[in-house]
Amino acid sequence: NNRTFTMIKPDATQKGHTGGIIDMIIKAGFTIKAMKWTKLTKEQAGAFYEVHKERPFYGELVNFMSSGPIVAAVLEKENAVADFRKLIGATDPAKADEGTIRKLFAASVGENAVHGSDSDENAAIEGSFFFSGLELF
Ligand code: GTP
Ligand code: MG
């Protein structure tokens, strides 16, 4: 499929990396279909990350993701989900390849600058969490 969903996380927006990250996304060949600057409540962050609710870091993740502004976006490109995960690099920036967004902008496994959907199905679910069909261009 050809779409994925991303968030620029609060660590990156607060350090002023929003523009640099969007620039890398566009230069990698992704088209922006929808984008918004917003801030999640704890309840919204908890709902978005519900799949991780049994993981030991869930509380930390929800606190972090509601700690500051985020940028949510739907992106289009052939092979979008896999190509975007390649562009952002490993979850832990210490293990991320050179030139990836997380290698360049992330500080730790928790505060890792960006989210990228892990499947076509989740990309559609996550995109719908933030955007209606009328907001996709
Ligand atoms: P996303 O694109 O954000 O979903 O990251 P991912 O798919 O590379 O990782 P995963 O879905 O396994 O984990 C979701 C998010 O939980 C990560 O991006 C981190 O922000 C956070 N996370 C994962 N592992 C840890 C951890 O060990 N400690 C903390 N504090 N946060 C973690
Ligand atoms: Mg994930």
Q: Is 67 in the pocket of ligand 1 (CB under 6 A)?
A: no
| pTM for this entry | 0.97
- Ligand 1 center to 125 CA (angstroms): 18
- Ligand 2 center to 113 CA (angstroms): 13
Among 24, 136, 15, 105, which residue's Cα sits nearest to residue 67? 15
CATH numbers and ranges of domains, the chain? 3-132 (3.30.70.141)
Q: Is 61 in the pocket of ligand 1 (CB under 6 A)?
A: yes
Yes or no: say if 71 and 36 are a contact pair by the CB < 8 Å rule. yes
* Residue 74, phi then psi, degrees to nearest 5: -100, 130
Q: Which helix (H) or strand (E) is 74 found in, with range?
A: strand 70-76
ipTM of the complex: 0.95
* Residue 48, phi then psi, degrees to nearest 5: -60, -40
Atom of ligand 1 nearest to the CA of 65: 20
What number is the average pLDDT over the span 6-27? 98
